[in-house]
Amino acid sequence: MGTSRQRLDAIAKPDSFDDQKTAADIANSEAASEDLGQFKEAMLSQIKRIIHGDDAGNWHDDIATVFGQDASLKSLLSGVESIITTLLTDNNTHYVVIGDTTTDRKIEVDYSFELPVLNKSQVGIFTVNWDGSGVNSDHHFSFPGEQLDEVIFSADVNGTDIRMVIQNISLGENPTIKYRRTPIGLV
């Protein structure tokens, strides 16, 4: 006579997929779990807390789009933040906070400044150094085709914020900037 076997996942599937357990419930899960299903719920809650902390969210959310940023381990280990896209307005000065004087010594910003309608762009690296009393900056850029003379990059400090200042003059359309910052902290 043949033996009937069931797959482990069919036996151990929990009745619910509660991923909102508290830290205390998770810590006590080994002793308090009555079956493997309850223990799996504690594991899902721990995964959720790793991704979202105490904020809203579920273990199955796409970690590459959490709160509009990449929360994957790869992004955390690289020390590089995700790419941020900002729509600017023509004939205006924009201030983008890129660092903090209390924690950052040097900030490097890789960017792409684009005028999609006119099909013009500029890509570059904007580096800001905080020396404890002021900032100095260095800017290296390139562009395919015509140079954007109407865009000026500089840096300033406002309170504890280190800001990249983008001034654009009569570009003919509202530009978009995509950037990623890499901070180097104080020693």
Query: How crowded is residue 51: how many other Cβ atoms within 10 Å of its Cβ?
Result: 19
Q: What percent of the chain is modeled with pLDDT above 90?
A: 36
Residue 102 CA to residue 183 CA, distance in Å, equals 12
- At 24, is the pLDDT very low, low, confident or very high (cuts 50, 70, 90)? confident
- pTM exceeds 0.95, yes or no: no
Residues 42 and 112 in one domain: no
Of these ranges, 22-26, 99-103, 114-118, 163-167, the one predicted with the greatest mean pLDDT is 163-167
- Of 28, 53, 74, the last residue of a domain is 74
Residues 111 and 159 in one domain: yes
Residues 38 and 57 in one domain: yes
Residues 166 and 104 in one domain: yes
Residues 125 and 155 in one domain: yes
Residues 65 and 103 in one domain: no
pLDDT digits (tens, 9 = 90+) for 144-161: 877 888 899 999 999 999
CATH number of the CATH domain containing 129: 2.60.40.1680
Q: Which long-range contacts (CB under 8 A, 24 or more apart) does 114-122 make?
A: 114/175, 114/176, 114/177, 114/178, 115/148, 115/171, 115/172, 115/173, 115/175, 116/173, 116/176, 117/172, 117/173, 118/171, 118/172, 118/173, 119/145, 120/145, 120/146, 120/148, 122/147, 122/148, 122/151
- Residue 20 belongs to what domain range? 8-74
Q: Of the candidates 127, 56, 114, 48, which has an alpha carbon nearest to the alpha carbon of residue 87? A: 114
Residues 159 and 103 in one domain: yes
Domain count, the chain: 2
Residues 53 and 141 in one domain: no
pLDDT digits (tens, 9 = 90+) for 66-113: 656 666 655 555 544 578 888 899 999 999 999 999 889 999 999 999
Examine residue 3 and state whether it is found in any structural domain, yes or no. Answer: no
- At 65, is the pLDDT very low, low, confident or very high (cuts 50, 70, 90)? low
Burial of residue 99 (number of CB atoms within 10 Å: 0-12, 13-18, 19+): buried
Q: Starting from the edge strand earliest in sequence, which strands make up the sheet with 92-100, in order?
A: 92-100, 161-168, 151-158
Q: Of the candidates 27, 183, 24, 172, which has an alpha carbon nearest to the alpha carbon of residue 104? A: 183
Examine residue 1 and state whether it is found in any structural domain, yes or no. Answer: no
Examine residue 173 and state whether it is found in any structural domain, yes or no. Answer: yes
Residues 84 and 56 in one domain: no
Residues 90 and 166 in one domain: yes
Residues 47 and 133 in one domain: no
Examine residue 151 and state whether it is found in any structural domain, yes or no. Answer: yes
- At 53, is the pLDDT very low, low, confident or very high (cuts 50, 70, 90)? confident
Which run of H or E residues covers position 138? strand 135-142
Q: Is the pLDDT of residue 162 over 90?
A: yes
Examine residue 49 and state whether it is found in any structural domain, yes or no. Answer: yes
Residue 178 CA to residue 123 CA, distance in Å, equals 9
Examine residue 2 and state whether it is found in any structural domain, yes or no. Answer: no
Examine residue 25 and state whether it is found in any structural domain, yes or no. Answer: yes
- Of 17, 41, 74, the last residue of a domain is 74
Residues 121 and 171 in one domain: yes
